[in-house]
Structure 1
Amino acid sequence: QHLQPSALEFFQRWCLLLHLELTQSKRAAVRALWCQDPVTREASGDAVCYLQLEKCEQRGVGQFVHTFTRSPTAKSYPSLRHSLPTTGLKASDMVVVSTKTSIAVSQGVILSASSSSITVTLDKQLHKSTPVSCGYYHLDTCHYQAGMSHNFTGLAMLLHDTPAAASLRRLIIDKVPGVVKAGLSRDVIQQARPILKPLNIDQQKAVLRCCMGQDYTIMQGYPGTGKSVSVVALVRLLVLLGKTVLLTSYTHSALDNILLKLKDTGVDFLRLGRLSRIHEDLHCYADELLTKNTTDVNALADFYNSKAVVASTCLGVNHVLFSKRHFDVCIVDEAAQVLLPSCLSPLLLAGKFVLVGDSQQLPPIVLSKQARSLGMCESVFSVLERQAGSECCASLTLQYRMNAPIMRLANTLVYQGKLKCATPAVQDARLHLPKLQDWDSSSTPSWEVLAVSADPAVLLLDTCGAAAEEAAPLGIINNREAELIARIVATMMALGGDCDSIGVIAPYRAQVRLLSDTLSERVTAQAAARSDGLVMPPHLLLQPDVCHRVEVNTVDQYQGRDKSVILYSCVRSAVQESHYGEILQDIRRLNVSITRAKHKLIIVGDVKTLLNYDTFAKLISELRPEEIVRLEQQDWEQLGV
């Protein structure tokens, strides 16, 4: 009786969307693990196969740390390198372990992953629970379904007959505007000054605006604008004002990124979650360790209630603490990436909330194409941002990452000129390769010289239809684009470029795999045998695996990070309209790819094909003549491909 028809319609719509997604995700996970061979699963980025156990050590009750390297058995499979793939599985991912004869013999979390080894904490000792005769192991991504249960629970809680649920329905479903205070008292301003002093003017205004919101505040944190610094300052101020804070995010890594900064300020907090998913430097704040010797229920309750700041992922709010605790403010970081139902449970635990994010970057991940078409890629952030007045929003626009030419593209694509360089140094920053000045480039193709030069800071290399895409077993690839990018990376490294400062992005996993292989196989050889006399430094020639430090990945894995140089392989060339696909049409993905670059952005693709995509057509129209270079036939001949 307490529910309006609109609330029931909202509930039914989201139940349908969640069921569509649940069906798709289960089907994909089961099909991969049971129906695909390990080599295929690794190539798709969801597994690492044919591993041998190097060592195992116990670190606490029920926690066994295992270190794996590639098994000699892998030599039987030409498509597998001796080194481990650096794409796909990463630290903090949940995995299941299988053997030659058994699927899912153990489950755990990746602690670290490199090209030489992968370390995982598991719930049992493999060498005791599995026979030596198993020969080798496979690690597969664990498609954990508890998140879907959390989503259904959040929807149900939204319908409860409670003041908190009624208030949230009023904002999200009925679209009633949020209430904002007219101002803050002089006393609050005085207390805030020491905390706000190190911030820029945008950040200061955002923190104060968040304190003025009675229902909610949207903090629009554009790329490189220091949103995590602003969140830390907000938490400090709220604690100083005697408020309790629930700090949350969808991923452990995003949450821990803020907590590491908060730790440096001296603010005390409690980090909830499994110890294996928490950053090592934050273990001293983990409830798992802090409460392990507490046996009295009342003492445990007093401990949990004593913490003014509690941090948990959105899925972690099923902790017993939250059945007894209510907070003054809930802060959700990366809120634009959190599926709407996933965000409901934490929001119901606080009197008001702050959503921090950027709706122009990656949306929530939805596997079901049908669910996506029905609007499932929606977050509480995007819903409230559309209806919020300016008094409920605070924008961070002064950015410290991109130089002016790269920022210009981001402004044209999505930010409508809002982004500004925070300092002249940021505006004028350029790529610096230490040996560039001493390089005799007279015999080097002009496109290659431009690719490693400080200017232009933005460069589109037009393959002019000469780099055709190919259909590979695991997806679409473009060999010539991969060779071209490998050549540029080799030249940058030979000129003193830092491998860790170079990043390569591709829209498709198959191309990511090809690029990674090409870099590994070609970079040293290309740099060591050139007609212009440019050679790879000896210490790099002795370490072929150094190429793995050049990170190659899809844009999803680059969210929240940056590199001095970003090379983007577009892959598609001479594609028919019916086969355009969704990915290159997604302006948010293109925006994230562009805004990862600080000093140099190089896009490799066929302009004629790219103009068929509205996103790239808009980008290309903004480029200046000197920022587009056409590759002629002689350029490909010189490249040797």
Structure 2
Amino acid sequence: MASAAVESFVTKQLDLLELEREAEVEERRSWQENVSLKELQSRGVCLLKLQVSSQRTGLYGRLLVTFEPRRCMSAAVLPSNSFTSGDIVGLYEEGSQLATGILTRITQKLVTVAFDESHDFQLSLDREHSYRLLKLANDITYKRLKKTLITLKKYHSGPASSLTEVLFGGSDPSPASEIPPLTFYNTTLDASQQEAVWFALSQKELAIVHGPPGTGKTTTVVEIILQAVKRGSKVLCCAPSNVAVDNLVEQLARWKQRLLRLGHPARLLESVQRHSLDAVLARGDGARIVADIREDIDQVLAKSKKTQDKREKSNFRNEIKLLRKELKEREEAAMLESLVAANVVLATNTGASPDGPLKLLPDGHFDVVVIDECAQALEASCWIPLLKARKCVLAGDHRQLPPTTISHKAALAGLSLSLMERLAGGHGASSVRTLSVQYRMHQAIARWASEALYHGQLTTHPSVAGHLLRDLPGVAATEETGVALLLVDTAGCGLFELEGADELSKGNPGEVRLVSLHVQALVDAGVQAGDVAVIAPYNLQVDLLRQSLTHRHPELEIKSVDGFQGREKEAVILSFVRSNRKGEVGFLAENRRINVAVTRARRHVAVVCDSRTVNSHAFLKTLVDYFTEHGEVRTAFEYLDDIVPENYSREGAQGPGQAGAKPRGSAATARGAPGSRRPTGAVLDRKKPGTAPLSSKAQPQPVLNGGGREGARSRGGAEQFRDVITEFVASEKTQLEFPASLDSQDRMWVHQIAEEYGLRHESAGEGKERFITVSKRVPLAPAAPEPPAGPGSKAPLCPEPPSPAQTEPPIGEQSSRGQPDLKALHLDRLQRAGSQQEQQAREGPRATGSGPRKLPEKKKKKGAEGPMAIDLPSGEDFDALVSAAIKADNTCGLAKCSASIVTLGQLCLHCGRRYCLSHHLPEIHGCGERARAHARQRISREGVLYAGSGTKDRSLDPAKRAQLQRRLDKKLDQLTGQRRAKRKEKGK
């Protein structure tokens, strides 16, 4: 049974690996043929315009070259990229490749590459020389995986035969063996960690340790290794990445174990290089002899090049053969001695391949194979070390990031299914032990992860349950540092996403501004910038964030989600980027990616997002709902004073007891958008953030754009502010100040209600000193008072928002389709302005401070023709309402312009509204940013800015042209040399 399962598995995996390889090769080929170097840099696989900062000899004879961006300015930083330590990179100058090296270290300003000593090129330190680095495809890994799968298919007898039967379902795991009571090296292990150690040691074939975020998985794995060594076992410890392996080396080194780290020294952290095989050999007794043999080989090669005698050349070749044979024997003997002496050998999964140093060891040398971060590794790569021992311990978390793949088709077909995920689902609790106590996150953060992904099994240790940023030394208690969960909602604020030139990468400048303000607030409160991480899912957004923040906060880490797995920060700020009317979230829909992003934080998580967009995805909606219920919610209006509400909706904003407001019928309420947001919670009675570790009372929600969570709650808090503002509107006062004692939610209500009444509303001050000033708008050109519409009309006591019958049907219909009704917004504002002017005219000098000015007859006539003179009928007269809308559509779309556009008018391609010839330019009426983004996309795609402005320049890039010219010259030289050789032969 197992053999058939193995054969089926191998056949399928080989096909999927072939798909993955083809996808990788095709991607690299398309990059070279179709994608510009600048575009490659934006995708994170190329670094342009680098200069040499320094070069030195290190890593046991290798050349280390450090590059930095060309310094057009003092604070030059590298663009956002996907380079990591250990990547194979190509070094290019102009069009030619100079060498291939291995990236050893990369920061925001520097990148260091190690080149083998065989490369004899010279790099100029002149700033005029410019270089670039390109990430290269590596077929060594693919060949090793393919070879391992073929070996697995033929594997019948060996140390891992019984293990193979268990892992493929051919037999059940053997009963656990009895082990004596354990004396733990680490005495601080909790009960679940101790149980996992005992379980791993007692199993005979398979043990799985599931470690959710912050539960001390690596600490548990280290204890398992130490206990296995104590029992006399030889351990092979692997992980899919060099960083994960080095982390284990650092922790094991504290316990003074005999370790040996396999792998290229350039791929290792400096702190663990002394445990590398190269370092151990360099310290060995035979190191001097090996160095002497290498010198002898170099001397013989030099003599061979100088002599012209054939007999002497033959003697030199024989001597070199003997020297190289002796060199190989001595090196292998030294390596074997080091391998046998080590209790723990550590390597990446592919680094443990049979074509490496481990080929020198006999079969069955290792007793246990431990694979950490197993859920991040391709299953095929796990079989490289698994075939070397009779027992394995797998550790990881299959609810965090899956294995990285390029081929979407291969991933869906099963390539992204890790060995740990497959076995955890197949064997269940009999082979799995889960660590249940986390030591990283505030309980509000951990509870979301526990409920959403870990079936409520994750608990929080009391030492971290209530810790906040304000508890750190030197950090002041502010609104930002006193809350664990913060949601900054941009719904309805018009902060839409931008597309990159390839329409794959996304950015959101509005969210960049919000993140920058929040980072500054944390730093001003005393939080160290190095304790804060900013995470964004797209490279374009990472670049925008770095441009905005790096020069002010150099220690601040700004990366994508993948760059933070396995790490933690005191505060994490997430920018979700996506904000569009279609509700598209892209690969934000990967639940495990969001889990990793949120659970990197210890004390504070801030999410900046458009709730209307992200709520279209069920999992993201649960995150937003959780933050709404257990955290603090703010709107972008509280941070940015220059944004204009996009498709602003007043549904649900008027309380039933508001003076002068018409009662809302049930039918009008039912017509609202399905996801319409309503004010929730008694604002003035709720607890301040941070007074309790986790509040059970639902937090209020901003009323923006008609899209949000359902369910009406108490509106008492909003009504108190509404009464104050209503009294202010009816009074002679021109300015009203609210005290700094209001919290962020209270300020949101004030902003919202003031906007409804057409008042100016501004926030000033920082932190606890922040307050709001509300003032009346002064009309630019108040129109003359008009007679009442009819004998039954009454002058309102104060300007009131439009009734539901007038505005709600069109806005509700538009919201249900997910499109903005800008004309309805325009009419709404016009009526509000007309009501204000009518009120001022009726109250006389007492309201305005001076009598109404009488305008000339011509001016009055012009005003009568514009949108200010439109008298909207009641909701029952539908034909009149349509006629009024048509009349309004014949005027310029700019709110302050009343010019007619019946004959001459221009349609804006970006907002879909018509404007007069004075305001039709996007930069004038507010679409400048969209116009610039559209122009960038068009010129990148078509090569021209306007249709008919010429053809795209299809000439070759100068660097590529020079490269082709060199290849042509080289070919011509070869052909010329061949002709000369033929002539000489004929001459003889």
Pairwise same-fold verdict (TM > 0.5)? yes
Q: Is contact 1:86–1:114 with CA below 8 Å preserved after alignment?
A: no
1:10/1:194 CA distance change after superposition, 3 Å: closer
Q: Is contact 2:516–2:549 with CA below 8 Å preserved after alignment?
A: yes
Does 2:540 align with 1:516? no
Q: Deviations over 1:560-602 (max 9, x none)?
A: 001111111111113426x543x12111111101100110001
Which stretch of the first structure deviates more once superposed, 216-225 or 32-41? 32-41
**Of residues 294, 300, 305 in structure 1, which corresponds to 2:340?**
305
Report the Cα offset of residue 143 of structure 1.
2.5
Kindly report which structure 2 residues correspond to 1:266-415, keeping only aligned pairs within 5 A, or say none: 266-292=256-282, 293=287, 296=330, 297-298=332-333, 300-318=335-353, 319-322=356-359, 324-325=361-362, 326=364, 327-415=366-454
Give the distance between the partners of 2:66 and 2:636, measured in 1 at CA. 49
Q: Is contact 2:211–2:395 with CA below 8 Å preserved after alignment?
A: yes
Aligned to 1:106: 99
Report the Cα offset of residue 489 of structure 1.
0.7
Give the distance between the partners of 1:244 and 1:375, measured in 2 at CA. 33
Give the distance between the partners of 1:218 and 1:85, measured in 2 at CA. 40
Does 2:572 align with 1:558? no
**Of residues 414, 423, 426 in structure 1, which corresponds to 2:464?**
426
Q: Is contact 2:537–2:561 with CA below 8 Å preserved after alignment?
A: yes
Aligned to 2:618: 614
* Amino acid in the other structure paired with 1:162: H
Give the distance between the partners of 1:60 and 1:477, measured in 2 at CA. 40
Aligned to 1:444: none
Secondary structure, aligned partner of 2:100: strand
Q: Is contact 2:374–2:418 with CA below 8 Å preserved after alignment?
A: yes
1:608/1:166 CA distance change after superposition, 3 Å: same
Report the Cα offset of residue 61 of structure 1.
5.9
Aligned to 2:23: 24
Report the Cα offset of residue 417 of structure 1.
1.4
* Amino acid in the other structure paired with 2:576: C
The answer to which structure, 1 or 2, has the higher relative contact order (CA under 8 A, 6+ apart) is 1
Aligned to 1:147: 141
Report the Cα offset of residue 368 of structure 1.
0.6
Q: Is contact 2:62–2:116 with CA below 8 Å preserved after alignment?
A: yes
Higher strand share: 1
Give the distance between the partners of 1:91 and 1:228, measured in 2 at CA. 21
Kindly report which structure 2 residues correspond to 1:162-201, keeping only aligned pairs within 5 A, or say none: 162-164=156-158, 166-174=161-169, 176-184=171-179, 186=180, 189=181, 192-201=182-191
Aligned to 2:576: 570
Report the Cα offset of residue 101 of structure 1.
2.7
Secondary structure, aligned partner of 1:473: coil
* Amino acid in the other structure paired with 2:154: H
Report the Cα offset of residue 479 of structure 1.
1.2
Report the Cα offset of residue 7 of structure 1.
2.8
Does 2:628 align with 1:593? no
Q: Deviations over 1:104-156 (max 9, x none)?
A: x2122233323332222222598944678982111122322211112112211
Give the distance between the partners of 1:616 and 1:378, measured in 2 at CA. 23
1:300/1:120 CA distance change after superposition, 3 Å: closer
Report the Cα offset of residue 193 of structure 1.
0.9
Q: Deviations over 1:450-492 (max 9, x none)?
A: 4x2312x111111113221122215221111111001111121
Give the distance between the partners of 1:26 and 1:15, measured in 2 at CA. 16
Q: Is contact 1:180–1:391 with CA below 8 Å preserved after alignment?
A: no
Give the distance between the partners of 1:236 and 1:454, measured in 2 at CA. 41
Aligned to 2:455: 416
Does 2:215 align with 1:215? no
* Amino acid in the other structure paired with 1:398: V
Aligned to 2:529: 499
Q: Deviations over 1:407-450 (max 9, x none)?
A: 0111121011111112x221011012777658xxxxxxxxxx64
1:125/1:350 CA distance change after superposition, 3 Å: closer
Aligned residue-pair number: 590
**Of residues 486, 489, 496 in structure 2, which corresponds to 1:468?**
496
Aligned to 1:254: 244
Does 2:546 align with 1:547? no
TM-score, normalised to structure 1's length? 0.86
Aligned to 2:905: none
1:61/1:626 CA distance change after superposition, 3 Å: closer
Q: CA RMSD in A?
A: 2.6
1:436/1:222 CA distance change after superposition, 3 Å: closer
Q: Deviations over 1:485-505 (max 9, x none)?
A: 011111212222201111111
Aligned to 2:873: none
Q: Is contact 1:412–1:622 with CA below 8 Å preserved after alignment?
A: no
1:152/1:371 CA distance change after superposition, 3 Å: same
Q: Is contact 1:209–1:217 with CA below 8 Å preserved after alignment?
A: yes
Q: Is contact 2:490–2:610 with CA below 8 Å preserved after alignment?
A: yes
1:435/1:329 CA distance change after superposition, 3 Å: closer
Aligned to 1:524: none
Aligned to 1:528: none
1:3/1:413 CA distance change after superposition, 3 Å: closer
Give the distance between the partners of 1:611 and 1:196, measured in 2 at CA. 45
Give the distance between the partners of 1:634 and 1:398, measured in 2 at CA. 37
Q: Deviations over 1:345-374 (max 9, x none)?
A: 100101100001000100000111111121
1:625/1:398 CA distance change after superposition, 3 Å: closer
TM-score, normalised to structure 2's length? 0.57
Give the distance between the partners of 1:317 and 1:383, measured in 2 at CA. 22
Q: Is contact 1:67–1:120 with CA below 8 Å preserved after alignment?
A: yes
Give ranges in structure 2 of 5+ residues lacking alignment. Answer: 291-328, 645-928, 930-988
1:196/1:392 CA distance change after superposition, 3 Å: farther
Report the Cα offset of residue 274 of structure 1.
1.1
Which stretch of the first structure deviates more once superposed, 387-396 or 561-570? 387-396
Give the distance between the partners of 2:54 and 2:640, measured in 1 at CA. 48
Q: Deviations over 1:270-328 (max 9, x none)?
A: 11111111222222222123235265355543432222211111111122324533310
1:245/1:221 CA distance change after superposition, 3 Å: same
Q: Is contact 1:516–1:548 with CA below 8 Å preserved after alignment?
A: no
Aligned to 1:232: 222
Give the distance between the partners of 1:270 and 1:484, measured in 2 at CA. 48
Q: Deviations over 1:212-241 (max 9, x none)?
A: 111110011111111111111111111110
Secondary structure, aligned partner of 2:209: strand
Report the Cα offset of residue 630 of structure 1.
4.5
Secondary structure, aligned partner of 2:578: coil
Give the distance between the partners of 2:249 and 2:335, measured in 1 at CA. 23
1:615/1:159 CA distance change after superposition, 3 Å: same
Q: Is contact 1:360–1:414 with CA below 8 Å preserved after alignment?
A: yes
Give the distance between the partners of 1:81 and 1:628, measured in 2 at CA. 36
**Of residues 131, 153, 162 in structure 2, which corresponds to 1:159?**
153
1:235/1:637 CA distance change after superposition, 3 Å: same
Secondary structure, aligned partner of 2:463: helix
Secondary structure, aligned partner of 2:368: strand
Q: Is contact 1:215–1:352 with CA below 8 Å preserved after alignment?
A: yes
Give ranges in structure 1 of 5+ residues lacking alignment. Answer: 439-448, 521-543
Which stretch of the first structure deviates more once superposed, 246-255 or 413-422? 413-422
Give the distance between the partners of 1:361 and 1:58, measured in 2 at CA. 39
* Amino acid in the other structure paired with 1:596: R
Which stretch of the first structure deviates more once superposed, 628-637 or 196-205? 628-637
Secondary structure, aligned partner of 2:554: helix
Secondary structure, aligned partner of 1:374: helix
**Of residues 59, 76, 81 in structure 2, which corresponds to 1:82?**
76
Aligned to 1:441: none
Q: Is contact 1:255–1:311 with CA below 8 Å preserved after alignment?
A: yes
Aligned to 1:117: 110
1:209/1:322 CA distance change after superposition, 3 Å: farther
